[in-house]
Amino acid sequence: MQLMTRTGYLASICVAGLIAANIAHAKDASQNFAVDNGGVRDCNHLIASGNPDYPPYLWPADDGSGHLIGAAAEFLQRVGDAAGINIEVVNAGSWGRVQQHMREGGIDMIAGAFFTVPRLEYMDYFYPAFQGTRTVIWTKANIDINYRQWSDLRGLEGLTVINNSFGQEFDSYAAQNLTIREVPSLEQGLKMLDRNRGEYLIYEEFPGKAFAAREKIDDIRSYDIAVSEESLYLTMSHKSPCNTGAMRGRIAQALFKLVGDGVMDEMLEASIARWSTGTN
């Protein structure tokens, strides 16, 4: 048997460490599950998460609590209060990791997701949507790609955040016609755009403006014509043991009332101010 080289040995250690870290990370969210004295899930306490790179809707609290804060987190907690359920919104990792948790039942809910057909395979959507969003094109301020329609992006090098969706129709068009590189975070995408490492960035309007302002990236522009206008929904994992007809009914009734009362508008305005000042 051949002896492993020192380089190969160190590489195997690194890979093993990454695998172990990923396994440990994947368990973080489910460790928050509440159980009764018999070890059965207490469905009066649900665990939710979402995209942690998504101000003013969601971003990590910096108080060491491991929670996400922002307008979407506050709204979901208000839904829980109205439904008589404690919903804890935790930071379960990247947006891709959060979606994997939903597939596996590692969390119960997502506080804000667009509708796509593939996601129906592992989570239920609550109606109505709690917020509408606009996805726009961002370029350097001194560049005008004359964007009017999706086909104007053909032949250009685009950037977006990994595992993001901008609606089923655009996702399908982009997969067949556009060249878009995925990056780990919105912050990295904006900085790459600022450094001319991509010709355009596709992302939502409010989060893009929030990040650009906070990072003092002022040499970029967004285009008035939206790539897509999508809705944000609350969702529940198919594998959550708390996903029952009765539970969905309680949440849906609370959601319907809060959407009708327009409470999200006030929460969004407060969260924009909160993010810009860096307060928790």
Instruction: Write the pLDDT tens digit of every residue in 157-172.
Output: 999 998 888 878 899 9
pLDDT tens for 181-219 read 999 888 899 889 989 999 999 999 888 888 887 888 888
pLDDT tens for 124-142 read 999 999 999 999 999 999 9
Centre a 10 Å sphere on the Cβ of residue 244 and count the other Cβ atoms it contains.
Answer: 12
Position 9 in a domain: no
Position 18 in a domain: no
pLDDT tens for 76-123 read 999 999 999 999 999 999 998 999 999 999 999 999 999 989 999 999
* More confident: 25 or 267: 267
Residues 114 and 72 in one domain: yes
Asked whether residue 278 carries a pLDDT value surpassing 90, the answer given is no
Distance CA 101, CA 29 (A): 8
Q: How confident is the model at residue 7 (pLDDT cuts 50, 70, 90)?
A: very low
| Mean pLDDT taken over the chain | 86
Position 173 in a domain: yes
Position 1 in a domain: no
Q: For the ranges 70-74, 86-90, 147-151, 187-191, which has the lowest average pLDDT?
A: 187-191
Position 235 in a domain: yes
Total structural domains within the chain: 2
Alpha-carbon distance values, 129 to 104, 140, 229 (Å): 24, 32, 13
Q: How confident is the model at residue 29 (pLDDT cuts 50, 70, 90)?
A: low
Q: Is 215 helix (H, G, I), strand (E, B) or coil?
A: coil
Residues 139 and 110 in one domain: no
Residues 106 and 137 in one domain: no
262: domain CATH number is 3.40.190.10
**Domain coverage including residue 57:** 30-131+231-277
Position 164 in a domain: yes
pLDDT value at position 274? 87
Position 7 in a domain: no
Residues 55 and 187 in one domain: no
Q: For the ranges 42-56, 175-189, 206-220, 223-237, which has the lowest average pLDDT?
A: 206-220
Alpha-carbon distance values, 152 to 175, 200, 212, 274 (Å): 15, 11, 24, 36
Q: Give the mean pLDDT of 264-274.
A: 88
Q: Give the mean pLDDT of 249-276.
A: 92
pLDDT value at position 39? 64
CB burial of residue 46 (10 Å; 0-12, 13-18, 19+)? buried
Q: Which residues of 52-69 are buried (b: 16+ CB within 10 A; e: fewer)?
A: bbbbbbbbbbeeeeebbb
Residues 125 and 240 in one domain: yes
